[in-house]
Every structure is written in structure tokens, then in C-alpha cells.
């Protein structure tokens, strides 16, 4: 497909949202039922348990009423899971459409989990925060992320002969990137499919597995119940191992051991009660919550055979240099995004009197037009007045300064508004870069708008190393990242040799 010139346009949607910065309703807080499910050996096909959660009502006398959550149909917790109003479900015979719908759904769960987790949990989510497991998809992401951080903490002194810069303080972990979230959604879906192949061997067609996952909104227990026409035997114990391997989990045997442990009824019920109380629609997980949940998920050390030592001979001086170089590049680009977001939040506060601070950068794209250059950024920000609330999801558009100081200020911000993750609203400019950036509906922005199927379904499975792989590099376990670095280097060396050979021939 040929590349098209970007343009300014207004996006529309059947369910348009209000467009801040004008004043927004301060008294609304959306909440909808949130549930969890257990795939136990005796009742793994039972219907998923649900529990309606009502957020505490805010006092009208409070000097700073809580800001509204983004609203959207089909929400699991408070309006995040993307679903277009009035849209018909794709047919079971259309695996491409089902895959795309599920990827967007899982992406919504991941963004919601990021909005509820502290910045210190970013590594656990981006490395191992898959949505398969014995709970609801959102709770699985939270549990898997916290468990991995507790079970496999990042070493500040990696046992390798080549020095690596320390990752830095948590304040440097703001950039999670659109590519890393898209890749995590893709890997989660691969894990769900691998599990279902073991749990439902009578379904030998991936299109049917996708259909049942779509009906169940990516919930394993509900998908198994949907796919089972009669009482069947429990899934084999290898199901979680197959899921972890298909999802490229850093330590698949340990993940399978952990997920199987959670199927114990006492352990499951204990963890589920805590999750239902701590992940309400109006609450972010606090540091004490994380510490308590970590203790619940990791009562005993893992068996040694589940985490064998890695072959350190793969981590050469060349690999260490590449990691250091990419960390430095990532931090430079992150500084620009942070500067834009801080200016945008200042402008948003001027227009709304609502003050926020940056939580996570969820995606950045630079658009190059005929006569302009601009930034499109998604990010999560926490309320200064109500720090206990989950972070709010924003879009910002900014044009770079052209003066000598080269610093972004409020005058360089053209759009800054909260929005809900969606399958629509991605502009043509971001699509051409394969960046999953959410855009506000009903607002003019640079880049144009296109909704062509062959564009929006690409760019989910990023095969090469991403910036987060370098920032959170773990010398004890990230052999897959090392292998990708070496493969890229070999490809570059091969291209260089070919170019030199062509020059010699000339």
C-alpha cells in the first residue's frame, strides 16, 4: 500500500465523548461489576464468579471532588475495555477480525492495569504481565506482574564480566511505549490460545478458539465454559506451561508452577478476596497493597530447578555496549516526551483547575508532514487532589518549538484531553508508523484518519528488541533479548559485507 500524505481531520464515533479542556462534570465516577474466576480441578468449567463493586460516594463538601473516569460501554471495571456501540460481533469464520478485536480488548486490560499499579511495578508488567491465569484478565495481569517482580527481582549487580549502567531510579521508568503494550497483548493472546488447545482438545480449529475467547472477553474460565458442550476432564497440568512458552514468558516452568499453585481453592479464594477489595473502580494499588500481595503470592522460594542459571557466555562486550547505547537513547527520547506532557498538564490545569502528574507514558509518535512536525502521545496521569484514584488516560498533540531554547511550553500544546482506549480514533499518520496511539473523537488533529483493515491489524508482534528490553534488561534471565541483539548484529554485519562486496565489484 502506498503511503499517503497526512492531513488535518476530525474523527467521529457513534459514542462521542466530551472534549476537555472545558470544564467537565466533577461528580461523576463510573463503576461497573468486576469479577474473577478460578479454573480449579473440580470446577474449572464453572461459570465465572462476579461481584458488583460500588465506589464510595463523594461528599459534595469536599474541596476537590474526584474527577470523572472515562466512560465507555462494555467496561469490566470502569469503562476501559474497548467496545464500539452498536457494532456487530465478527463471524466465527473471520479469525482476522476476531484476533484484532481480542488484541484491542487485551490492550485495554493492560492499560487499566497500568493505571492501577505503582511505577515500581512497570518492569513486572512489561516483562511478564500476561492476562492468562486463574482469575479475570485484569486481575491476572496484576497478579502475574507483582509475582514476577517479587520472585525475580532485578539485580543491580549482574553477574557478568561487562559493566552495565544501573537502570536508575523508578522516576526514569515512565516510558512503557505503545510497541511494548502491543507486543504484550499479542503474547497474552498466544498464551490464551495455547492454554485452550490443551484444555479443549476437541476444538482443533483456532478460529473456534478465537470465537470462544471473544465471547468470554479473554477470560479463560468463561471461554472453557463456552466451548464445553458437556462435562469434561480438567485441563492437563501442562496447560499453563504451554501458555507461558507460547507467550515468551522469561521463566515458563516457574510461571506454570505459580499458576498451578493459585488453583488451590484456599490460595485462590484468599488472593481473590484481596483483589476484589483492592481494585475497586476508585482505588489505585498502594505500596502496602503491593507488599501484602507479594507476600501472599510468594510464601515460599521457588524450587531451584524452575530457574536454572543462564549461559553467561552469550553476553559479550559487544552486547553490553549495545544495551548501554540503547538505554541512553531511550532516556533522551523519554526526556522530550516528559517535557511535552508536563507542559500539557500545566495547560490542562489552567483550563480545568484539575492538577495531574505523570504516571506512565503509554506511546509516542512523531508525525512528519509537508510543512510541519508534531507529536502524538498517550499517557497516564494521577490526580494531585486524589492520589488514591487510578491514573487517567490522556492524549496530547504538540508542535515543537523553533526558538533557540528548544523547550516545550503551554503554547506548543494544541490538544490535551482524557479519553478511553478504543479500536477507533487512530490517525493515518500514526497508523503508517504502526503506532497504537488512541486519539480523541470529535477533535481536529494532525495526521488524518483512516480505518483500513490491512493497516490497523499490523504492528502487534514486534520481533526485535524494544527500548523497554534494554531499560529492564536482566542479565540473569533475558537470554531471548541477547539472542535478538546478536541476530540483529549478524544481519547488519551481513548487509555491510554485501555492500562492501558490491563496491569492490564496481
Instruction: Please write the tens of the pLDDT for every residue from 271-286.
Output: 999 999 887 767 899 9
User: 304 and 388 share a domain?
Assistant: no
Are 240 and 253 a contacting pair, CB within 8 Å?
no
- Counting runs of H as helices and runs of E as strands, what totals does the chain give? 15, 8
User: 239 and 357 share a domain?
Assistant: no
User: 238 and 369 share a domain?
Assistant: no
Question: What pLDDT, on a 0 to 100 scale, did the predictor assign at position 158?
Answer: 53
Torsions phi, psi for 58 (to 5 deg): -85, 145
* pLDDT interval class at 72 (50, 70, 90): very low
User: 234 and 127 share a domain?
Assistant: yes
Lowest-confidence pick of 27-36, 109-118, 138-147: 27-36
User: 166 and 242 share a domain?
Assistant: yes
State how many domains the chain has: 2
**Residue 180 resides in a domain:** yes
The label of the residue with cell 488472593 reads 271
How far is it, in rounded angstroms, from Cα 231 to Cα 133?
A: 21
Residue 40, exposed/middle/buried by CB under 10 A (0-12, 13-18, 19+)? middle
**Residue 9 resides in a domain:** no
Per-residue pLDDT reduced to its tens digit, 390-411: 999 999 999 998 876 788 999 9
The residue among 42 and 292 whose pLDDT is bigger is 292
* pLDDT interval class at 133 (50, 70, 90): very high
Integer angstrom CA distances of residue 211 from 102, 154, 285, 474, 481: 10, 38, 33, 37, 33
Domain residues for the domain of 336 are 321-456
Integer angstrom CA distances of residue 43 from 157, 222, 263: 45, 12, 11
User: 284 and 404 share a domain?
Assistant: no
Strand pairing class (49-51; 392-398)? unpaired
User: 251 and 308 share a domain?
Assistant: yes
Find the angle CA(443)-CA(444)-CA(445) to the nearest 5 degrees: 115
How far is it, in rounded angstroms, from Cα 342 to Cα 9?
A: 26
Other beta carbons within 10 angstroms of residue 2's beta carbon come to 3
**This prediction's pTM:** 0.78
Find the angle CA(309)-CA(301)-CA(142) to the nearest 5 degrees: 95
**Residue 488 resides in a domain:** no
The label of the residue with cell 472534549 reads 19
Give the contacts of 238 (CB within 8 A, at least 6 positions apart): 198, 256
User: 355 and 294 share a domain?
Assistant: no
How far is it, in rounded angstroms, from Cα 192 to Cα 243?
A: 6
Amino acid at each position: 500500500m502506498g503511503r499517503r500524505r497526512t492531513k488535518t481531520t476530525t474523527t467521529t464515533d457513534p459514542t462521542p465523548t466530551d472534549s476537555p479542556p472545558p470544564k467537565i462534570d466533577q461528580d461523576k465516577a463510573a463503576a461497573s461489576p468486576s469479577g474473577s474466576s478460578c479454573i480449579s480441578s473440580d470446577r474449572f468449567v464453572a461459570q465465572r464468579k462476579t461481584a458488583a463493586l460500588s465506589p464510595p460516594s463523594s461528599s459534595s463538601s469536599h474541596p476537590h471532588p474526584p474527577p470523572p473516569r472515562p466512560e465507555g460501554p462494555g467496561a469490566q471495571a470502569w469503562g476501559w475495555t474497548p467496545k464500539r456501540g452498536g457494532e456487530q460481533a465478527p463471524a466465527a469464520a473471520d479469525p482476522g477480525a476476531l484476533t484484532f478485536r481480542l488484541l484491542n480488548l487485551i490492550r485495554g486490560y493492560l492499560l487499566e492495569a497500568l493505571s492501577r499499579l505503582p511505577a515500581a511495578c512497570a518492569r513486572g508488567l512489561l516483562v511478564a504481565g500476561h492476562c492468562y491465569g486463574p482469575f479475570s484478565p485484569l486481575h491476572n495481569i496484576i497478579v502475574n506482574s507483582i509475582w514476577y517482580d517479587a520472585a525475580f527481582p532485578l539485580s543491580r549487580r549482574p553477574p557478568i564480566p561487562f559493566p552495565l549502567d544501573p537502570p536508575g531510579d523508578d522516576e526514569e521508568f515512565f516510558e512503557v511505549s505503545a510497541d511494548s503494550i502491543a507486543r504484550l497483548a499479542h503474547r497474552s493472546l498466544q498464551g490464551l490460545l495455547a492454554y485452550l488447545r490443551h484444555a479443549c482438545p476437541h476444538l482443533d480449529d483456532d478460529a473456534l478458539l478465537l470465537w470462544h475467547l471473544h465471547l468470554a472477553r479473554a477470560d479463560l474460565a468463561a471461554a472453557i465454559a463456552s466451548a464445553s458442550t458437556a462435562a469434561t476432564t480438567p485441563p492437563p497440568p501442562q496447560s499453563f506451561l504451554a501458555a507461558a512458552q507460547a507467550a515468551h514468558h522469561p521463566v515458563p516452568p516457574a510461571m506454570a508452577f505459580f499458576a498451578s499453585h493459585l488453583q488451590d481453592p484456599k490460595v485462590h479464594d484468599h488472593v481473590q478476596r484481596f483483589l476484589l477489595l483492592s481494585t475497586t473502580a476508585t482505588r489505585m494499588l498502594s505500596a502496602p497493597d503491593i507488599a501484602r500481595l507479594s507476600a501472599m503470592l510468594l510464601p515460599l522460594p521457588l524450587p531451584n530447578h524452575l530457574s536454572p542459571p543462564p549461559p553467561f557466555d552469550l553476553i559479550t562486550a559487544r552486547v553490553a555496549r549495545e544495551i548501554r547505547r540503547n538505554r541512553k537513547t531511550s532516556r533522551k527520547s523519554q526526556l522530550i516526551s516528559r517535557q511535552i506532557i508536563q507542559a500539557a498538564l500545566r495547560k490542562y490545569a489552567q483550563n480545568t483547575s484539575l492538577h495531574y502528574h505523570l504516571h506512565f507514558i503509554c506511546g509516542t509518535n512523531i508525525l512528519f508532514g509537508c510543512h510541519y512536525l508534531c507529536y502524538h502521545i498517550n499517557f497516564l496521569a494521577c490526580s494531585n487532589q486524589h492520589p488514591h484514584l487510578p491514573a487517567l488516560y490522556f492524549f496530547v498533540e504538540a508542535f515543537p518549538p523553533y526558538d533557540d531554547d528548544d523547550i516545550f511550553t503551554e503554547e506548543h500544546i494544541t490538544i490535551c484531553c482524557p479519553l478511553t482506549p478504543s479500536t477507533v480514533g487512530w490517525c493515518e499518520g500514526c497508523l503508517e508508523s504502526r503506532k497504537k496511539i488512541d486519539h480523541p473523537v470529535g477533535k481536529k488533529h494532525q495526521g488524518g484518519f483512516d480505518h483500513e483493515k490491512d493497516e490497523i491489524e499490523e504492528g502487534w508482534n514486534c520481533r526485535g528488541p524494544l527500548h523497554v528490553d534494554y531499560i529492564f534488561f536482566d542479565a540473569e534471565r533475558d537470554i531471548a533479548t541477547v539472542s535478538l541483539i546478536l541476530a540483529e548484529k549478524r544481519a547488519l554485519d551481513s548487509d555491510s559485507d554485501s555492500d562492501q562486496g558490491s563496491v569492490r565489484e564496481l
